[in-house]
Structure 1
Amino acid sequence: MQGGLAASYINMTDDEAVDLARERFGIEGRPTRFATEKDDTFRIAPASGPRFILKVANPIEDIPEIDLQVQVLDHVAARAPDLPVPRVIPNDKGERHFNYLDRAGQRRQVRMMSYLEGQPLSEVPSTASGRAEIGKLLARLRLALADFSHPSDSRVVAWDVKNLLTLRDLLAEITDAARRRKVEAALERFAAIETRLKQCRTQVLHNDFTRSNVVVDESLPGFVSGIIDFGDTVRTAIAIDASTAMLNQLPVAMDGDVFADGRDLLGGYLSIADLTAEELSLIPHLIFSRLATRLLLSTAMANRVPSVAAYVLRNNEQTWVQMDWFIARSMDEISDQLMSFAK
C-alpha cells in the first residue's frame, strides 16, 4: 500500500528514543509516545525549556519523501515565518534528517522538530470565529507553498483523494456487503468527476488538514497555535486540500445544514485566497471521496496491522453515517452546497 501505511515493523522503545535524542541532538528529556499510523513519534520533554518531537520513520519510507517533508517546513519558515509550523532541529552533524540503524536492526530516517504547544482542535469546542481562523490559516499555508517544488512532490500518497480509484482493490477488505456497496457507489461518483478534477489548479499542499493536525490555544488572538504532521504533503488539487479541512467540520449526526460549520471555515479561507466556481462545485464531492478513502485505508490497515486498529478505526462509525447523507442525495444537489460563495 502506498506510503508504507500497511507495513509492519518493530517499534522503537522509549529508552532507545531517549538515548537517540541525547546522543544525536544533545536533548535530554522524558519521552511520551504518540499514536500514529506508520512511524514512531515521541515528545521529548526536558526538565525545563521547550519540548521537542522526535520522529523515527517506518523502515520502508523513502529518503527523498522524508526530505520533501523537511524541505516543506524549511520553505514555510522562510516564506511565512509567522505561520505556526514545526521548526526542524539539526543533529550533532548539522543534518536535518539522517539514516539510523535501530536496535532491532532496522534502517530508519530520523528527524527532530520543535513541539507546538496547545490542544488538538478535536479536543476543543468549535466556534464560528475559531473555524474562520482555521480557514485563514489553511489559505495562508497554501500561499506560502505556492512556489515550492521538490523532486518527490508528485509522489503517490494513498490519502491523496485524486488516487481514490487506485484503491479499488481494497474493497475486499470491507467484509460487510451492504457497506462495501456504499463505498463502491462513492468510487462511481468519483469516476464521474475525475476528469473535471484533473483540470483544476494544483500545487504542493498539506493534504491532511484535520482536527488532529491543527493545534489551538483559546487564549491566542489567532486561536491556532500550530499546524502539524506534514507526512501526506504532496502536489495535488487545491480543491482537495480545502475539502479535507471541510470534511472535519461535518456534524456527527448529519442533521440540518451539514455544511454550516464548514461555511465558517470556507469564509475565512476565501478572505485570504480564492477558489474558482468549479473548485467550489467539486469540494462537496471530494469530501465524499475522502470519506471513502478513509474507510478503505483504515479498514485495510486494521486488517493487515492489527496493532494500529484502534487508532485507525476510531472515526469509522461516524464516517459511515456521513457516507449515508451523501449517498442519499443526487450529484447536482451535492454540487450546489457551496455555490453561494462563487463570485
Structure 2
Amino acid sequence: MSETALAAVSCAELMTTQAPTIDHLKALDIARQTYGLEGTLKLLNGERDANFLVRTASEAFVLKFINPAEDPSVISFQTQALLHIERHGAHLPVPRMLAARSGEFEPRVVVQGQNLTLRTVTYLDGISQNLGTPSVALMHELGSTLAQVNLALKDFHHPAAQRDLLWDVGHAERVRPYMHCLDAEQLPLVSALLDHHEQQVKPQLARLRAQVIHNDLNPHNVMLDCETGSRVAAIIDFGDALHAPLINELGTALSYQVDADASDPLWLIKAFVAAYNARIPLQTEELAVLGDLITLRMAMAITIAQWRASLYPENRDYVLRNLSTTWRNLQCLTAMPAGMLTDSLINACTPEAL
C-alpha cells in the first residue's frame, strides 16, 4: 500500500469511529464528580466527540468526551495548544482550559467499560457566524483576530503537531478514495483541482513558512456577540489544529467567506485577507498559492461531507448542511477568468486596502 493510501486509512479511522455515546445523567454525574460542576447539562452537536454544555449558577463550560480513536499524543497537543494561547494571547477570545479537581487537564473516566479522556473548556456565548450579519467591518475583525491567534501559536511546538489529518488542505490527495461519493457534475471539477494541487501547488507549499495553525475557521467555529451579531465573540474548536504551512490557515478560512450571490463574490474575502495581512504580512509566494488553496478546501469539503453522509445517513442533514452553498461558491470561483482570484487577493494586501 502506498504512503498516501496508508495516510488516508489513518486519517479515516478517526472520521469513521463514532463519537462516544454518553447517557445524559452519566455525563452530569461525571461533571460533578470530576470537575465539581453543579448545574444543567445539554448535548451539543459534534463530528467526532461527545460534547455537553454544562451551565452552573455563574458559569458555563463545554465538557468533551474525546473520540476513543484519537491518539493520546494528539489529545495532549490540542490541550497544550490552548494552554499556550492562554499564556501568550490572554486577550484573545478563545476557550480556556478547566482543570479537574485532581489538577489534571485530561482526566480519564470509564463509561460502559470504555476508557475515555475528558477535556473541559470555558463556554464562550454567542451565535455562530452564519447567523450573523456579514460586513466588511466583521471581516476586518475576524481576519485580525485569526492573525493574532496565529501569532500566539508561532513559537508553540509539540511532537504530535505533525499529524495525519483528512482535513489538511496541504495533503488534499487523501480524499481521493472518497470521490466515488461525488455526483457526476462534481467529479470532473474536484478531480481537476486535486490534480493541479499534486502537480503544481503541493511542491510549492513545502518551501513556505510553517507553524501550528487552527486549521478550521469555518462559520460554525466563529461565535459572534448575541446582541448585534456583528462582532467576534469567540474562536472555538481547535480539534483540527496541526503544524502546516501558515498560508493553509487562510486557504481554509477564506473558503467559507465566498459570496456567490453578491455582485462581487470576493468582497468578504478581500476584507478578511487585508486585515490578516496587516498583522502578518503575507509573502509573494504565499499569495501565489492562496487562491488554489481556497478552491481546494471547498473541493475537499464537498467530498468529505458526502462520504460521511453515506456512512451516517441518520446524521445526513447535519453533515450536508453546507453542501449546496459550498458547491455554488466553488463553481463561482472556478468560473472566474484565470488569475482573477489571485490578483484580487494580492490587490487586497496593499497598504490602502484597509
> What is the CA RMSD across the aligned residues, in angstroms?
1.9
Q: Secondary structure at the match of 2:201?
A: helix
* 2:291 corresponds to: 284
Q: Secondary structure at the match of 1:31?
A: strand
Contact persistence 1:281–1:338 (CA under 8 A): no
Separation of aligned partners in 2, 1:331 and 1:240: 21
Pick from 333, 336, 346 the counterpart of residue 326 of structure 1: 333
Contact persistence 1:200–1:279 (CA under 8 A): yes
Pick from 25, 34, 37 the counterpart of residue 27 of structure 1: 37
Amino acid at match of 1:44: V
Separation of aligned partners in 2, 1:156 and 1:134: 27
Amino acid at match of 1:259: L
Question: How far does residue 218 in structure 1 lie from its aligned partner after superposition?
Answer: 6.5
Separation of aligned partners in 1, 2:334 and 2:253: 20
Matches within 5 A, 1:50-129: 50-103=59-112, 105-129=113-137
Separation of aligned partners in 1, 2:105 and 2:194: 40
Q: Secondary structure at the match of 1:250?
A: coil
Matches within 5 A, 1:288-307: 288-307=295-314
Structure 2, gaps ≥5 residues long: 1-8
Pick from 120, 133, 138 the counterpart of residue 141 of structure 2: 133
Q: After superposing the two structures, state which structure 1 stretch, 157-166 or 2-11, moved more.
A: 2-11
* 2:321 corresponds to: 314
Q: Secondary structure at the match of 2:238?
A: coil
Contact persistence 1:37–1:311 (CA under 8 A): no
Contact persistence 1:280–1:342 (CA under 8 A): no
Q: Secondary structure at the match of 2:159?
A: coil
Question: How far does residue 239 in structure 1 lie from its aligned partner after superposition?
Answer: 1.0
TM-score by length of 2: 0.91
Separation of aligned partners in 1, 2:135 and 2:186: 33
Separation of aligned partners in 1, 2:179 and 2:279: 39
Once the two structures are superposed, what CA deviation does each residue of 1:93-125 show, in whole Å capped at 9, x if it has no partner? 11101222212x322211111111222112111
Q: Does 1:335 align with 2:345?
A: no
Q: Does 1:198 align with 2:206?
A: yes
Question: How far does residue 325 in structure 1 lie from its aligned partner after superposition?
Answer: 2.1
Separation of aligned partners in 1, 2:20 and 2:149: 35
Question: How far does residue 290 in structure 1 lie from its aligned partner after superposition?
Answer: 0.4
Give the length in aligned residue pairs. 339
Separation of aligned partners in 2, 1:322 and 1:214: 20
C-alpha spacing 1:267/1:333, structure 2 compared with 1 (3 Å): closer
TM-score by length of 1: 0.93
Q: After superposing the two structures, state which structure 1 stretch, 297-306 or 82-91, moved more.
A: 297-306
Amino acid at match of 2:15: L
Amino acid at match of 1:183: V
Separation of aligned partners in 1, 2:181 and 2:272: 34
Q: Secondary structure at the match of 1:271?
A: helix
Structure 1, gaps ≥5 residues long: none
Once the two structures are superposed, what CA deviation does each residue of 1:52-99 show, in whole Å capped at 9, x if it has no partner? 110011111111111111100100000111111111111121110122
Separation of aligned partners in 1, 2:314 and 2:101: 33
Question: How far does residue 331 in structure 1 lie from its aligned partner after superposition?
Answer: 4.7
Amino acid at match of 1:25: Y
Contact persistence 1:215–1:225 (CA under 8 A): yes
Separation of aligned partners in 1, 2:231 and 2:317: 30
Q: After superposing the two structures, state which structure 1 stretch, 118-127 or 77-86, moved more.
A: 118-127
